[in-house]
Amino acid sequence: RSQTSFPPHRGPRPMFRIICGNGPGLFTAAEHASVQQLVDSCGALVTASGVADVRSEGGFTACAVFLANVDRAAQALGLQAAPRCYRSKFSANYRALFPDGNRHYRVDVLEASVDQQFAIFVNGVKFELSADAVVACQALATAWTELIATLNRWRRAEAEREHIAGALVAFDVAWAAFERLYIGELIAIEEQARQLVVEAVRCESRLPAELVRFSIPGAEQAEREFVRCIAGLNSVANFKRKGRDDLGVEILARSRAILRSGTVEGPNFSSPAGREAARVLAGDVLASYEAMRNYFKKVGTRIEHVDPHLCNNVGLVARLVDYEESWEVGARYICQPHLLDAVCDVVAEVRAAERLAPEFTAMCEDCDVELFLVLPRLVILAFLSDPTGARKHLIQSVLPHRFAPDDDEGAQQRMPKPAKVDHDLKLLHDQFKECMRVLAKALPPRTSAPTVPASPLGGRARSPQRAAAWELLVRQAIQGAEDDSLETYAPEAHKVTRELMRAVERWSLELQRHCPEDWNQCSSVIVHCIHICDTRVPGRA
């Protein structure tokens, strides 16, 4: 006798259905092939704890294949899709995903049903699905489970054509019901999540096109509201920085005042270098503000393209990063006259030091790593040369523990007075004064003008000998051991200079390490101002 063999998982009853052809409860060959393909893809589904895994790459792919086969099997069986006319009310983004009345099963919709998570977080805000959507979600999960069970029964030859067709129809009806509610509520949630952008677009549209027209009624209030909108967006979308929401319109007003009048309180703005540094910082604030305005002008015509998860909008985040960085500097320096005066003073003096050592100019232009070793030394020397001037406030802002508190709140607004420094800083200043005295005495009388022009890093109204001594210290700070100019001087001058520079190095490390964030911001501001100012000098790149 010959024996009849059957393919794996297929007993004699399924084979009988194929052989006998079409009939009540029977499959055609094409129908059978599509159902068999569906059953095979069902067996390939990845599950975790009895639930379909749609998060892993393999699970997602297997589920996508299965859903595509569900659609093909339903079409092969001649099953009509559940009505989907509601899709005409979808937003443009979702109409692109669901362009017509066909099934268009998507894994992300199934995932929402499988997870049974009814809370959606967007921009840190929790949104709850409606009770109707929750019921539809659970109904789809039930239909999914029943479809899988029916396919497994068919694999064991325990289900007929009507069972498969019934499970497919029930699944499609449940899917359409959930899709209508879920996508509709997603659209509403996304619209609400975009309201920060919509409000910013609305506020920007009310602003005058030109800054000179801000005298028109209502312009100041509109700008205040616009800045408030940016602050709200920054707190939600700017994941690359702090996301500050406390950067107010006064930063913008102060920056405009600097750029319009060109005059700022403080003695160090009398020098061209000081004024230029102030204009650089104020210009950064205005530039980032205008970049935000231009962004909202463009995005206002295509709001639907804005990702409701605002941190996913690359262009928005990039502008917010620049905005927060420049406005944070503005809040710290531009809105505090004593600190703006101090940073402009130091920028002017460091630029003067460039004339002493060409390699320092190259460091500034290239932002060489050595620059960030030299710069804190120069800042410490600058303070030691004039501890009662504006630069005191810069050191005090970075090393507050080295200064006693001012007597009253208005102390920072008064004329400079001797800094209240701690004992160690006082000893360093005494060491600096002694070194300057010894060097000035050891140096020969000077007949030529100093390399550094008037108001150099060495302070004001210096004698030629003291100016030359200062130039030597600046070269030591920049060139370090490579500067051999000390070798020609008396041993005492050599000794006190080396001791001072070792002490300055220790203090420069404290300057960098006590509060790295404050120092990094301070040094980046100084380097940025130097770089911009140098590029504006005729003949400089």
Per the model's pLDDT, the better-predicted residue between 268 and 388 turns out to be: 388
Beta bridge partners of 52: 47
- Residue listed under structure tokens 């000035």: 440
Instruction: Give the percent of the chain with pLDDT over 90.
Output: 60
Among the ranges given (6-20, 97-111, 232-246, 300-314), the one the predictor scored with the smallest mean pLDDT: 6-20
Cβ atoms of 486 and 497 within 8 Å: the answer is yes
Average pLDDT, stretch 125-145? 95
Cβ atoms of 192 and 222 within 8 Å: the answer is no
Which 8-state DSSP code applies to residue 8?
T
Q: What is the pLDDT of residues 508-526, one digit of tens each?
A: 999 999 999 999 999 999 9
Q: Residue 423 to residues 373, 389, 427, 429, 430: CA-CA distances in angstroms?
A: 25, 19, 6, 10, 11
Q: What is the pLDDT of residues 454-463, one digit of tens each?
A: 444 444 446 7
Beta bridge partners of 128: 119
Cβ atoms of 101 and 83 within 8 Å: the answer is yes
Instruction: State the pLDDT at residue 25.
Output: 62
Phi/psi of residue 47, each to 5°? Answer: -120, 155
Q: What is the pLDDT of residues 6-42, one digit of tens each?
A: 444 444 444 434 433 344 467 889 999 999 999 999 9
Instruction: State the pLDDT at residue 405.
Output: 67
Assign 481 a pLDDT band (cuts: 50, 70, 90): low
The answer, yes or no, to whether residue 312 has pLDDT greater than 90, is yes
Instruction: State the pLDDT at residue 274.
Output: 72
Characterize the bridge pairing of strands 119-122 and 47-48. unpaired
| Residues contacting residue 363 through CB under 8 Å, at least 6 positions apart | 370, 371, 374
Q: What is the pLDDT of residues 425-436, one digit of tens each?
A: 999 999 999 999
Average pLDDT, stretch 312-334? 97
**Three-state SS letters, 247-301:** CCHHHHHHHHHHHHHCCCCCHHHHCHHHHHHHHHHHHHHHHHHHHHHHHHHHHCC
C-alpha span between 453 and 276 (Å, rounded): 17
Cβ atoms of 326 and 213 within 8 Å: the answer is no
C-alpha span between 262 and 268 (Å, rounded): 13
Distance spanning both ends of the chain, measured CA to CA: 97
Side-chain half-sphere of 114: how many Cα atoms within 13 Å? 21
Helix axis angle for 29-43 and 57-76, nearest 10°, is: 160
Question: CA geometry: angle at 287 spanning 283 and 288, to 5°?
Answer: 120
Q: Is the dihedral of CA 424, 425, 428, 429 positive or negative?
A: negative
The answer, yes or no, to whether residue 1 has pLDDT greater than 90, is no
H-only helix segments in 21-116: 29-43, 57-76, 92-97, 107-115
C-alpha span between 239 and 235 (Å, rounded): 8
C-alpha span between 505 and 507 (Å, rounded): 5
Assign 265 a pLDDT band (cuts: 50, 70, 90): low
If you average pLDDT over every residue of the chain, what do you get? 85
The answer, yes or no, to whether residue 380 has pLDDT greater than 80, is yes
Instruction: Give the percent of the chain with pLDDT over 70.
Output: 82
Strand extents, DSSP E, 75-217: 119-122, 125-128
By the 10 Å C-beta count (0-12 exposed, 13-18 middle, 19+ buried), 203 is classed as buried
User: Nearest-CA neighbor of 472 among 494, 448, 445?
Assistant: 494
- Both structure tokens of 420: 């209240």
Average pLDDT, stretch 104-130? 92
- Both structure tokens of 417: 């007075």
User: Nearest-CA neighbor of 267 among 334, 343, 345, 347?
Assistant: 345
Among the ranges given (48-52, 128-132, 367-371), the one the predictor scored with the smallest mean pLDDT: 48-52
